[in-house]
Amino acid sequence: MRTPADRSGLDPLSGDQSDVFGPELGEFPHADERRAQAATDEGMKTGTTTIGINAGDAVVLATDMRASMGNMVSSKDVQKVEQIHPTGALTIAGSVSAAQSLIETLKAESNLFEVRRSKQMSMQALSTLTGNLLRSGAFYIVSPILGGVDDTGAHVYSIDALGGTTEENYAVSGSGSQFALGVLEQEFDEEMGVEDAKTVATKAIKSAMERDTASGNGINIAVVTDEGVEVTKEKDIDSLL
């Protein structure tokens, strides 16, 4: 277990950010065993469709609300987008238990960073930290989308289950990705604002729900600005169009 004293003399209050990309809470042992267990895990999963769109000075994140267990719909009211940072949020696709653990870890890491350095973690640092945590094997298997706003603007990061991270204008994850991506390819405009991005995200989620049996039961939409994160849900998706 790594402690702050193990950080090669780095003073967390000095402003030196050379170690901001590694987790503060400690290492995660037994990664291989965790991967093997996840490969046969029959727990609750979000087959899901999740979307992130850069809307200029804000980010819009949208997800469906269905969770499954095998061939059964195990929940019709899952919130798959969570605030993890004062101006950042994460969508989840994959194992529910691993995703919940990842979200709580990122919240803790973000809070620790702010307390120790008297400033908020940048979205680049947060995305790299998320990728590093996924590579550790402790959160297998989760495919999130990170959206947030910092001093350099709005950012959307696509992060795969093995920790690969790329910044995009828009991103998708989950079993309904291919259906949503076609809508985003046609509808996305670099000049669109928040309301237009919410409409496009809703159309993309609806398209996925029409064809992907693991997606459905409503929509969660998170709007992330430099003032914070607002998450809403709507069971009647047609009412938003």
| Known active-site residue 152 | no
Rounded to whole angstroms, the Cα distance separating 73 from 105 reads: 27
Helix, strand, or coil (residue 161): coil
Token pair 């550790």 is found at 136
Rounded to whole angstroms, the Cα distance separating 101 from 89 reads: 15
**Active-site entry in 3, 40, 46, 48:** 48
Amino acid found at 195? E
CA atoms within 13 A on the CB side of 121: 32
Nearest 10 degrees: Cα torsion 120, 126, 128, 130: 150
**What contacts 109, CB < 8 A, 6 or more positions away?**
23, 24, 25, 121, 129
Q: Which residues are marked as active site?
A: 48
